[in-house]
Amino acid sequence: MQLFYTPDILPQHKAFILNEEESKHAVRVLRMEKGHQLYLIDGRGGRYIAVITDAHPKRTVLEIVDVHLDHEKRSYYLHVAIAPTKNSDRLEWFLEKATEVGIDEITPIICEHSERKEVKLERLNKVMVAAMKQSLKAYLPKINHSVKFDDFIRRKFEGKRFIAHCAEGDKSYLSTLLQPSVPLLVMIGPEGDFSKGEIDAAQAQGFIPITFGNVRLRTETAALMACIETNLLNRLGV
Amino acid sequence: MQLFYTPDILPQHKAFILNEEESKHAVRVLRMEKGHQLYLIDGRGGRYIAVITDAHPKRTVLEIVDVHLDHEKRSYYLHVAIAPTKNSDRLEWFLEKATEVGIDEITPIICEHSERKEVKLERLNKVMVAAMKQSLKAYLPKINHSVKFDDFIRRKFEGKRFIAHCAEGDKSYLSTLLQPSVPLLVMIGPEGDFSKGEIDAAQAQGFIPITFGNVRLRTETAALMACIETNLLNRLGV
């Protein structure tokens, strides 16, 4: 069934009017007609079943026949802070995959070794909306404005905070530290990794150093590994 | 330290001559000189430390000063059979990531719903060689010629065989079926998933249906999830 992302819809709505672009897509492109059913998702966990009552090409009118809140809500909260990759395709790729697998919040962090210091939030958001629709999810991950590393590590976070780095030193596996249902924040560094100073500063702020095993991973691969390991470990209740 | 992929080198070699392309790269591009050290990897687990004895721009001569076999050998064998994605970038992306995370063998399978029926093995191999070097591995995953689904499921495989599909029916998690050190084969379907007939045929041949949880994943995402879950589960000894 066709799925539309309509962030303006609210649970109490009995009817909804698709905007001009969506109406055109539904009526002109998809050739939908009066009586046809479609899904609306609000990006906040709400999934609605709607029926077309007026297949108007510019303002298609829908009747809401079913509302499902907290649709496929995950049992954990994952925030990944990632240094933007040199090649922005790699960051976009991560956001697509993380949205499919499950992630709640992303913060681009600008580090000492970061070559890219700017991100196009609108573009990144588009990538996540497409991935959310493609994977039939009702939650749109939140992406924050980029933040300097030093400012980011001083921010409050109600949960466990981790820093994944490749430098020497004591590191643990996520599996030994994860507490199901405790929110977690994982920081992933840039191509040149975090600097020694950044690693020390993060630990001084309470970040716990972690490793994904004896593998040397690209930034976006490590970030996705954090998402998939968190997903699996929560399922296993490890 | 610079790393070169030299599949022709053998453990008994005391010296080695880089081919013209590698010699040019070492001497002209990297400006390496007599006495400089570099790594050679053979793609079969062998990692060699070599010293340049003649920095010839067309046939650089190396002395092998150290040999390390089974370099970072993993404890498991993973074979992923994957239907080529419509967009070949997505298959290449999977191969890059799988090489980073750990995979042994890949077979492109042509399924009923496959839109792409051809793969460029040479190109895919290049992607894996680059990923192997970038992630400092000594093993190059093996990629086979594409095979029709019906032929593939009848092939012998010494280990556990799984089929990941999105259709209804009893499915288990990899975590409940994995036996550490038992080789595993995971089949991942095309964009349109395996057909009902294919799923039945695979089960008739002994393939066990698996799921990655309540998520709808793209072909390449599911394939990478198989690699990362196998990696983590073997580490956990689950």
Question: For A164-220, how does the pLDDT look when each residue is reduced to its tens digit (9 = 90+)?
Answer: 999 999 999 998 998 878 999 999 999 999 999 999 999 999 999 999 988 889 999
Three-class SS state of B232: helix
Judge if A22 and A84 occupy the same domain: no
The pLDDT of residue B201: 98
Q: What is the pLDDT of residues A127-177, one digit of tens each?
A: 999 999 999 999 999 999 999 999 999 999 999 999 999 999 999 999 899
Closest CA to B228 of B74, B29, B26: B74
Q: Which residues of A touch B216 (CB under 8 A)?
A: 100, 134-137
Residue B175 to residue A224, Cβ atoms within 8 A: no
Closest CA to A226 of A124, A114, A82: A82
Rounded percentage of chain B residues whose pLDDT exceeds 70: 100
H or E element, residue A4: strand A3-5
Q: Residue A211 belongs to a domain with what CATH number?
A: 3.40.1280.10
Residue in chain B closest to A176 (alpha carbons) equals B236
Is the residue at B196 inside a domain?
A: yes
The pLDDT of residue B213: 86
The pLDDT of residue A172: 93
Rounded percentage of chain B residues whose pLDDT exceeds 90: 92
Is the residue at A179 inside a domain?
A: yes
Is the residue at A45 inside a domain?
A: yes
Hey, what amino acid is at A16? Answer: F
**A71, A101, A127, A166: best mutation site toward chain B, by most B Cβ within 10 Å?**
A101
Q: Which residues of B touch A101 (CB under 8 A)?
A: 215, 217, 221, 225
Residue B216 to residue A136, Cβ atoms within 8 A: yes
Judge if A203 and A145 occupy the same domain: yes
Asked whether residue B238 carries a pLDDT value surpassing 80, the answer given is no
Distance from CA of B98 to the nearest CA of A (A): 10
Judge if A61 and A145 occupy the same domain: no
Looking at the 3D structure of chain A, how many domains does it have?
A: 2
Asked whether residue A238 carries a pLDDT value surpassing 80, the answer given is no
Residues B150-177, mean pLDDT to the nearest whole number: 95
Q: Which residues of B touch A233 (CB under 8 A)?
A: 232
Hey, what amino acid is at A100? Answer: E
Is the residue at A73 inside a domain?
A: no
CB A122 within 8 A of CB A91: no
* Tokens, residue B106: 């890949």
Residues B82-92, mean pLDDT to the nearest whole number: 96
The pLDDT of residue A140: 97
CA B195 from chain center: how many Å? Answer: 26
Distances (CA, A) of A89 to A112, A119, A146: 21, 11, 17
Residue B217 to residue A100, Cβ atoms within 8 A: yes
Q: What is the pLDDT of residues B194-232, one digit of tens each?
A: 999 999 999 999 999 999 988 889 999 999 999 999 999
Is the residue at B42 inside a domain?
A: yes
Q: Which of A100, A173, A215 sits opposite B215 (nearest CB)?
A: A100
Is the residue at A34 inside a domain?
A: yes
Residues A27-51, mean pLDDT to the nearest whole number: 97
| B75–chain A Cβ distance below 8 A for any pair | no
Judge if B229 and B111 occupy the same domain: yes
Torsion sign over Cα B99, B102, B103, B104: positive
Judge if B59 and B90 occupy the same domain: no
Residues B130-159, mean pLDDT to the nearest whole number: 96
Closest CA to A44 of A78, A79, A5, A77: A5
Asked whether residue B180 carries a pLDDT value surpassing 90, the answer given is no
Asked whether residue B32 carries a pLDDT value surpassing 80, the answer given is yes
The pLDDT of residue A24: 96
Distance from CA of A126 to the nearest CA of B (A): 17
- For residues A39 and A69, give the distance between their C-alpha atoms in angstroms, rounded to a whole number: 13
Is the residue at A135 inside a domain?
A: yes
Strand order in the sheet with B15-17: B3-5, B37-41, B47-54, B61-68, B15-17
Q: Which of A93, A135, A232 sits opposite B216 (nearest CB)?
A: A135
Residue B100 to residue A217, Cβ atoms within 8 A: yes
Specify burial of residue B40 (Cβ count, 10 A radius: 0-12, 13-18, 19+): buried
Judge if B173 and B87 occupy the same domain: yes
Q: Which of B100, B229, B238 sits opposite A228 (nearest CB)?
A: B229
Residue B134 to residue A101, Cβ atoms within 8 A: no
Judge if B133 and B225 occupy the same domain: yes
Is the residue at B201 inside a domain?
A: yes
Three-class SS state of B141: coil
Asked whether residue B152 carries a pLDDT value surpassing 70, the answer given is yes
Q: Which of B101, B236, B238 sits opposite A221 (nearest CB)?
A: B101
Contact residues, A window 214-233, toward B, CB-based 8 Å cutoff: 214-218, 221, 224-225, 228-229, 231-233
Closest CA to B212 of B171, B180, B153: B171
Q: Which of B72, B134, B175 sits opposite A214 (nearest CB)?
A: B72
Judge if B63 and B89 occupy the same domain: no
Judge if A110 and A17 occupy the same domain: no
Domain boundary among A35, A68, A101: A68
Judge if B196 and B231 occupy the same domain: yes
Residue A225 to residue B101, Cβ atoms within 8 A: yes
- For residues A12 and A110, give the distance between their C-alpha atoms in angstroms, rounded to a whole number: 41
Q: Where are the alpha helices (DSSP H) in chain B?
A: 20-24, 88-101, 121-134, 149-152, 174-177, 196-204, 219-236
Domain boundary among A68, A88, A116: A68
**Looking at residue A26, what DSSP letter applies?**
I
- pTM, entire model: 0.93
The pLDDT of residue A181: 81
Judge if A188 and A90 occupy the same domain: yes
Distance from CA of B178 to the nearest CA of A (A): 13
The pLDDT of residue B14: 96
Domain boundary among B15, B41, B68: B68
Q: What is the pLDDT of residues A40-50, one digit of tens each?
A: 999 999 999 99
Specify burial of residue B159 (Cβ count, 10 A radius: 0-12, 13-18, 19+): middle
Q: Which residues of B touch A218 (CB under 8 A)?
A: 100, 134-135
Q: What is the pLDDT of residues A99-117, one digit of tens each?
A: 999 999 999 999 999 999 8
Asked whether residue A235 carries a pLDDT value surpassing 70, the answer given is yes
Judge if A87 and A201 occupy the same domain: yes
Domain that includes residue B230, residue range: 78-236
Residue A236 to residue B175, Cβ atoms within 8 A: yes
| B191–chain A Cβ distance below 8 A for any pair | no
Closest CA to B97 of B235, B220, B234: B220
